[in-house]
Amino acid sequence: MFVVCGEAIWDLFGVEGEDGLTFDARIGGSPFNVAVGLARLGQPSALFTGLSTDRLGQRLHDALKAEGVATGLLVRSARPTTLSIVDVGPDGGPVYAFYGEGAADRAIVDSDLPGLDPAVWGLHAGSYSLAVEPVGSALLALFEREAGRRLLTLDPNVRLNIEPDATHWRARIERFVRHADLVKVSDEDLGLLYPGEEPAKVAENWRSLGASLVIVTRGARGAETFSAAGHVPVPGRLVTVADTVGAGDTFQAALITALAERGLTTRPALESLDSDTIARILEFAVNAAAITCTRRGADLPQRSDLPGL
């Protein structure tokens, strides 16, 4: 089983109409999406997050169960559910405004950290749960505890509209990177964190800090990996884009799935990857993300939608 750590929220998509603005509400949050994406791709997954006992929180809980995501690690409380207002920018990418001060997903503390069954082979963390408190420090403590024991993956998924201090983001992410085995990051996030620096330079710095594989996604231009096998780029896939909400989360879930299906579930296995295998894994993840881009919202693919590895 793979445990995904971080937020679970509601995305509210604004729709202009004759009678004013209405909202199309969809369940989401990057870690929530990754956990669902893993389940849809046939991988046992669980979500570790704070989840409200309010009606919106219960709907999130029910959705996880319906998708086959294990709910035993959820920390329920009467705190509210985070809401995200989502608009689509001129480039087709999502633009977010978050309402989550005091919400359940931010309230995780060290005493909430779970003991993990031996069947858990990996952990993933990402998005604003890395940077806000107290959950950010709690998840960092979890990574510190599990480093070297389980495969750890990271996706910064920077949200400056929640935590506007880029210096804080850089420092926090670099602390996570010291314990992570695989880091996936978008070129957009790198531009926010390290403006003007080449992705290759950042990737090599992160590898010097501790990461084995650093994967940079470039939207329609594909993705590239930096590792002991060198620099491995793969192109994007041309599709008709509805929006890109959830594409990065799909990519992450597909990466983890590809590793699991190939039995690459340990740090030494990652370090032994050759460039051809890395390319096939990246192509699988690119194809999965492309499918999500053809759908509105974070509607992630099933395993049957994708070819074999």
**How far apart (Å, rounded) are the C-alpha atoms in residues 194 and 197?**
6
Give the tokens for residue 166. Answer: 């880029």
pLDDT greater than 80 at residue 123: yes
Strand runs labelled E in the chain: 2-5, 9-17, 20-28, 45-48, 50-52, 75-77, 83-88, 94-99, 122-126, 151-155, 182-186, 213-217, 223-227, 230-234
Q: Is residue 307 part of a domain?
A: no
pLDDT for the residue numbered 178? 98
Q: What is the pLDDT of residues 268-288, one digit of tens each?
A: 999 999 999 999 999 999 999
Choose between 15 and 114: higher pLDDT: 114
Question: Structure tokens of 133?
Answer: 């408190």
Q: What is the CATH number of the domain that holds 151?
A: 3.40.1190.20
Residue type, 236: G
Taking only the tens place, the pLDDT of each residue in 207-223 is 999 999 999 999 999 99
Judge whether 49 and 27 are in contact, CB under 8 Å: no
| pLDDT per residue as tens digits for the range 29-80 | 999 999 999 999 999 999 999 999 999 999 999 999 999 999 999 999 999 9
What's the pLDDT at 92?
66
Which whole number is the average pLDDT over 102-116? 97
Domain assignment of residue 57, given as a range: 2-15+22-302
Calpha distance 74→85 (Å, rounded) = 24
Q: How many domains does the chain have?
A: 1
pTM of the model: 0.94
| 189/98: higher pLDDT | 189
Please report the pLDDT score of residue 91 as a whole number. 73
- Judging by DSSP bridges, how do beta strands 122-126 and 2-5 pair with one another? parallel
Confidence of residue 130 (pLDDT cuts 50, 70, 90): very high
Residue 14: predicted pLDDT: 80
Q: What percent of the chain has pLDDT over 70?
A: 99
- Determine, yes or no, domain membership for 309: no
CA 28-174-204 angle, to 5 degrees, is 110
- Angle (CA) 241-14-136 rounded to 5° is 85
- Residues 239-257 have pLDDT tens digits of 988 888 889 999 999 999 9
SS3 123: strand
CB 253 within 8 A of CB 222: no
Amino acid at 17: G
Residues 6 or more apart in contact with residue 300 via CB below 8 angstroms: 33, 36, 37, 40, 246, 249, 250, 253, 288, 292
Exposed (0-12), middle (13-18) or buried (19+): which is 266, by Cβ within 10 Å? middle
Angle at 281 between CA 280 and CA 283, to 5 degrees: 65
Closest Cα to residue 8, out of 38, 36, 45? Answer: 36
Q: How many C-beta atoms surround the C-beta of residue 105 within 10 A?
A: 29
CB 153 within 8 A of CB 260: no
**Could you tell me the CA-to-CA distances from 83 to 7, 226, 235 in Å, in that order?**
11, 35, 34
Q: Is the model more confident about 131 or about 26?
A: 131
Taking residue 197's Cβ as centre, other Cβ atoms within 10 Å add up to 12
In a domain, 308, yes or no: no
- Position 167 pLDDT exceeds 90: yes
At how many degrees (to 10) do helices 55-67 and 30-40 cross?
Answer: 30
In a domain, 260, yes or no: yes
pLDDT mean across residues, the chain: 94
Q: Is the pLDDT of residue 119 over 70?
A: yes
